[in-house]
Every structure is written in structure tokens, then in C-alpha cells.
Chain A
Amino acid sequence: MAANVSLAAAPPYDAERVRRDFPILDTMVNGHPLVYLDSAASSQRPLAVLRAVEDYETHSHANVHRGVHALSQAATAAYEGARERVRRFINARTTREIIFVRGTTEGINLVAQAYARPRLRAGDEILISALEHHANIVPWQMVCEQTGCTLKVAPINRRGELQLEEFLKLLNPRTRLVAVAHVSNALGTVLPVKRIIEAAHGFGAVVLIDGAQAVPHSRVDVRALGADFYAFSGHKLYGPTGIGVLYGREELLAAMPPWQAGGDMILTVSFEKTTYNELPWKFEAGTPNMSGAVGLAAAMDYLESLGVEAIAAHEQRLLQLATAELARLPEIDIIGTAAHKASVLSFTMKGVHPHDLGTILDAEGVAVRTGHHCAMPVMTFFGLPATARASFGCYNTERDVASLVQALGKAREVFA
């Protein structure tokens, strides 16, 4: 009985109430209510984020770290307050480890150019997985061109899971850097990053985690993971575009040269000698995206008010429901059937190209991503030019899953 009482005490996740926080979900698309299943590309923003940005722009904006006047102090407090919010969200040790960047892509490029490029030499190796987004492939290819080091790629299996044994075999004393996604954007596979980090550290390699698809769907604790670098984007986390975070261990960041130069990243400048600013500002040349940072902090407040774990559990229910529904359709092939997945359902329909499918679904108001998902090697592995991808966020409901299934029926009709 006691167990029943405590179950009843936990309020069920109310996605209908959550939906009311997202005004854009009231949009009509082609005569149908919007069914937004593209949060893995970019999530929508709740009113709390929109209002925080508006409030900053309306009442607190000036340049940061510069003026002694009231607004400059307010802007600095808002911006640095956002940094502290991010620190708490991912449990970093200090705000010196929180670098604001434009997004995950910029975070990875920062590490590639300021950490890897000055250190790696011919003979050194960078190890990635075959699941990576182009943003976690191309920056390392550039470092290889620049330094003569070699890129190694750990394979995946037909379920879209990293072959951990193969990955571990590829680790060796020449491995200087490991860069892997926490969650695959194309397939939704959750990678065993804690295990990967421990193994890489055993060989003295530094590890960057591309967390763009993980932070919105799970509680991420960078210290518990042991990550050296962890990058993610605001706009996939219900925050604004143009803001993201690179977490880096202080010891590593402190030893890295700045990667862009300009205002804010210096302490003193003369024509003879310039001294660089302290962390984290050493890596934030130029006037930063203050309203973006404020919006991101508001998004984190919002997510914690719903409960990150409660959202994740809700999304898992939707993912399981959608997977079961689509598995019943004989013309649908689900691409990516890893045992451990988050939020993403990639699929193809026999006889219907994903691009046609995207258009037909859109005509029914259902927004999914179609294409290669910036992960062409993943598509090549499965012998596909593209897939359709439905992804779930905190505001999706079982009704959205039903609408997807219904719209797929429409596609079958058009191509009958």
C-alpha cells in the first residue's frame, strides 16, 4: 500500500500543460494544427525564454565588462549570472570552465584549433565514431591536414550502436584525442560515454563529447562523466540560437592559447606585448551574445521546473510508443535500433523517398526532418541517401505520435 501511495503522490507529467508554454505550437500548418517532431534539429522556445530575452533587451542591455554605468553593470550581471546557471546545470566545478560560444559546432572548432592543432603531430591519432555529425568530423579532418596527424573511426553495427570492442582496440598510446557524440543526432543512439572516457584516459587521451543531442534529454553531469570537453547548443535545449556552451576542464583551458583575438579576451595591450584575459573570457573575443546567454539560462530554469528526469521519462514513453506503432507498418523500416536510444526515430518508407515523405507529412501539418541529418557517413553505412526523422521534445504528446502514423497513411495513399 505504501508503494501505491508514493506512486500516487508523484504527479504525472502533464505534456498538455507544457504545450501551453510554447505559443508557436498553436500555429496552423497547411490547414492542420502543427505537429512538431523536429526538436532534434531545433527545439521551440517556451514563453519563459522569450520573456527573459525580451526583458533583458528592454531593461538591461548595454555592453558587458566595460562600462561603470548602471546598464553595463546590469548586462554584465545578467551575462555572468547566466554562466553560473550553466555551471550548475552541468555541474561544472567553476564558471571558469564555462565558455559561451555560438553553438556546439563552434565549441568543437575551438577545441580543434586551440587544443589539438598546437599539440598534435604526425603519428598522433584522433579517434571518433562512425556515428558523428559532420561538425564532429570535419574540424578533426582539418586538424589532420594542419598537423599531419591521423583520423581513426570506430565502426558501428547494423543496429546503429558503437562497436565498443572495436573502439577499445583502436585506442592506443598514439591516441591523443577522442571525440564522440553523447547521443547520435541521426539515429538517437546513446553512446557509453563514461566507459569511453575512462578507457581513453587510460591511454592519456583527452576526450571531447558532442552533447548537442544529449543535454535536452538527460541529466548531464560533466564531472561524473569525467569529460575533458563537453559542447552543446542552446537552441536544441529550448533556448535561443547563436548561443552554446563549451565546457572544458580548467587545467586544459588554462594551458590553451586563445583561438580568436579581440576585445574582452585581453588584460593589457601594447604594441610590444599583450596579456590575455583570465578564463573564461580568454576564449570570448568581442562582444558576446548576452541575450542568448540570458535566454539559455531561462531555458535551464524552465527545464528544471519541469524536471529534466521527468521530461526524459516522458520522451522515452513517446519514443517507445512511436517505435511500436511504426514497427507495425510493413512498409516502414526503422533505421537505428540501438538498445539505448534517446528521442529520435529515424525511418524510411518502401517506395517513397524521404524527401517526398517530408512534403506529404508537411501537407498534413507534421514537421519531421528529412535528409542525411549532417551525418552522411551514417547514411552511407546503411546504404541510404536519406531518412525521415521524427524527434520528440518535452511538449510532444501521444496525439502527435498518432498524427505521424496517420500522415504516414496519407503518404501510402498518395504513392499507392
Chain B
Amino acid sequence: MDLKELYRDVILDHNRHPRNFGRIEPADGRADGHNPLCGDRLSVFVVLDGERVADIRFEGKGCAISTASASLMTEAVKGKDRTAIRALFDKVHALLTRADAAPDGALGKLAALSGVREFPVRVKCASLCWHTLNAALEHGAATISTE
């Protein structure tokens, strides 16, 4: 169990200086995510251009893993269409949960989250933002919970 694998420099940097942090109002889609286990809350705001996420922001309070994951996610999905985002989520999910997940170039900086899988109770922290983004894209407005 190596803490350095979990708290890599990229993670610590995005935790300290989250990118795309804030609200978009009005937004085309918005969802609130909640992790009752640790009290983490975050909201995701998206502006759509057809199928494409033209802009995205998030705000909330959470642990380093959840904040960094959300920050990395906003950078990764901005400009992508729904299909590409769904494919990326699948890759992130595999990265977080599967010990045999092979490094995937498409993940880019998101690969920094690979250390999370050694800490199963923290997987929810990293995936909360993705579930919240999904809800924002699919339902327009919703509250989702990790429990």
C-alpha cells in the first residue's frame, strides 16, 4: 500500500488548484452528487453544443481524490461528445476497479488515478464526479448518490 501511488503530484496539484471550478448559470445540464459516507458533495454544470460538451464546470467540497478527479474530468471531457465521454467513463471505471486494467493512452492525465484501485473504499470518491456528469448529461438536473 503506497500512499505515493494514491497521492501523485498530479492529484495533489488538481486538489490544490482545481481546474474549471465554479458554476455556470444558466447551464444546459446540472446535477448534484453526494457521497454520504464522507459527506462529499459536488455539482457539475454543462453547456452543450448539440452532442458536444462545449463548457463544463464543477464546484463542491470533497477529499483530494474527489476534487482532483472532478478537476481532471472537466479537462478531459471539454469539447468531447456524449459518445466519447461515455467511452472515456468506461475506461476510467476500468482503471479504478480492475487490477488488470492496461494503461490506455486515451486516458491522458486521468491515468494518475490508477493508484485509487489499491484503496477500494476510495473508488467512490474518484467516480462520484463521473456519475454526476452522467446525470447532468442524461437528465438535465438530478441528484445522485454513491450509496
A residues neighboring B (CB under 8 Å): 30-31, 352-356, 359-360, 363, 370-372, 376, 379, 385-386, 410, 414-415
* A-contacting 9-mer, from B49-57, B60-68, B69-77, B93-101: B60-68
> CA A161 – CA B37 in complex, angstroms?
26
> CA A363 – CA B38 in complex, angstroms?
18
The 8 Å CB contact of B38, one of A354, A376, A410, A415, is A354
Is B48 in the interface zone, CB < 8 Å from A?
no
The 8 Å CB contact of A385, one of B40, B121, B125, is B40
Tell me which residues from 115 to 139 in chain B have a Cβ below 8 Å from any Cβ of chain A.
Answer: 119, 121-122, 125
- Nearest B residue (CB) for A360: B3
Please tell me if the beta carbons of A371 and B38 are within 8 angstroms of each other in the complex: yes
Binary contact readout B1-39 vs A (1 if CB under 8 angstroms, 0 otherwise): 101101100001000000000000000000000000111
Number of interface residues of B (CB under 8 A): 20
B interface: dominant SS: mixed
Please tell me if the beta carbons of A356 and B64 are within 8 angstroms of each other in the complex: yes
> CA A133 – CA B10 in complex, angstroms?
38
B24 to chain A, nearest CB (A): 23
Residues of A within 8 A of B40 (CB): 355, 385
Interface centre among A360, A363, A385, A410 (most CB of B within 10 A): A385
Please tell me if the beta carbons of B63 and A353 are within 8 angstroms of each other in the complex: yes
Please tell me if the beta carbons of A359 and B37 are within 8 angstroms of each other in the complex: no
Interface centre among A354, A356, A363 (most CB of B within 10 A): A356
> CA A379 – CA B64 in complex, angstroms?
19
Please tell me if the beta carbons of A414 and B62 are within 8 angstroms of each other in the complex: no
- Nearest A residue (CB) for B38: A355
The 8 Å CB contact of A359, one of B6, B41, B62, is B6
> CA A414 – CA B64 in complex, angstroms?
11
The 3 A-B residue pairs whose C-beta atoms are closest, nearest first, are A385-B39, A353-B63, A355-B63
Residues of B within 8 A of A30 (CB): 1
A415/B64 contact (C-beta < 8 A), A360-B3, A363-B1, A363-B3 known: yes
Please tell me if the beta carbons of B125 and A415 are within 8 angstroms of each other in the complex: no
Interface centre among A353, A386, A410 (most CB of B within 10 A): A353
> CA A363 – CA B122 in complex, angstroms?
13
Please tell me if the beta carbons of B37 and A415 are within 8 angstroms of each other in the complex: no
Please tell me if the beta carbons of B39 and A372 are within 8 angstroms of each other in the complex: yes
The 8 Å CB contact of A356, one of B4, B37, B41, B63, is B63
The 8 Å CB contact of A353, one of B3, B12, B37, B62, is B62
Please tell me if the beta carbons of A353 and B1 are within 8 angstroms of each other in the complex: no
- Nearest B residue (CB) for A416: B12
Residues of B within 8 A of A379 (CB): 39
> CA A410 – CA B3 in complex, angstroms?
10
With A354-B63, A355-B63, A385-B41 given, name 19 new contacts (CB 8 A).
A30-B1, A353-B38, A354-B38, A355-B62, A355-B125, A356-B64, A359-B6, A359-B121, A360-B3, A371-B37, A376-B39, A379-B39, A385-B38, A385-B40, A386-B38, A414-B3, A414-B4, A414-B7, A415-B7
A62 to chain B, nearest CB (A): 40
> CA A379 – CA B61 in complex, angstroms?
14
The 8 Å CB contact of A386, one of B6, B7, B39, is B39
B147 to chain A, nearest CB (A): 12
Residues of B within 8 A of A354 (CB): 38, 63
A359 to chain B, nearest CB (A): 6
- Nearest B residue (CB) for A387: B39
- Nearest A residue (CB) for B119: A359
> CA A323 – CA B124 in complex, angstroms?
32
- Nearest B residue (CB) for A30: B1
> CA A130 – CA B122 in complex, angstroms?
30
Residues of B within 8 A of A359 (CB): 3, 6, 119, 121-122
B18 to chain A, nearest CB (A): 13
28 contacts between A and B (CB under 8 A): A31-B1, A353-B38, A353-B64, A354-B38, A355-B40, A355-B62, A355-B63, A355-B125, A356-B64, A359-B3, A359-B6, A359-B119, A359-B121, A359-B122, A370-B38, A371-B38, A371-B39, A376-B39, A379-B39, A385-B39, A385-B40, A385-B41, A385-B61, A385-B62, A410-B3, A414-B3, A414-B7, A414-B12
